[in-house]
Amino acid sequence: MSKISGVFTNWGEAYGRLVETYIDGTWWTVGDYLENVGKGTKRLLVNAYPFIYGGSSSSPFRGSSPEASGFAKPTKEVESRFKD
Q: What is the tens place of the pLDDT at every residue in 37-75?
A: 999 988 888 878 877 766 555 555 555 555 556 666 777
Is the pTM for the entire model greater than 0.85?
no
Q: Give the number of domains in the chain.
A: 1
Q: For the chain, what percent of residues have pLDDT higher than 90?
A: 18
Whether 49 maps to a domain, the answer reads yes
Interacting residues of 50 by C-beta distance below 8 A, sequence separation 6+: 56, 57, 59
Domain of 41 in residue numbering reads as: 1-56
Please check whether residue 79 lies inside any domain of the structure.
no
Kindly give, in sequence order, each residue whose CB lies less than 8 Å from that of residue 47, ignoring residues fewer than 6 positions away: 55, 59, 61
Determine, yes or no, domain membership for 83: no
For residue 84, tell me if it sits in a domain.
no
- Are 59 and 50 in contact by the 8 Å Cβ rule? The answer is yes
Q: How far apart are CA 57 and CA 67, in angstroms?
A: 17
Distance from C-alpha of 67 to C-alpha of 23, rounded to nearest angstrom? 57
Residue 3 pLDDT? 65
Residue 75, domain member (yes or no): no
Q: Is residue 44 part of a domain?
A: yes
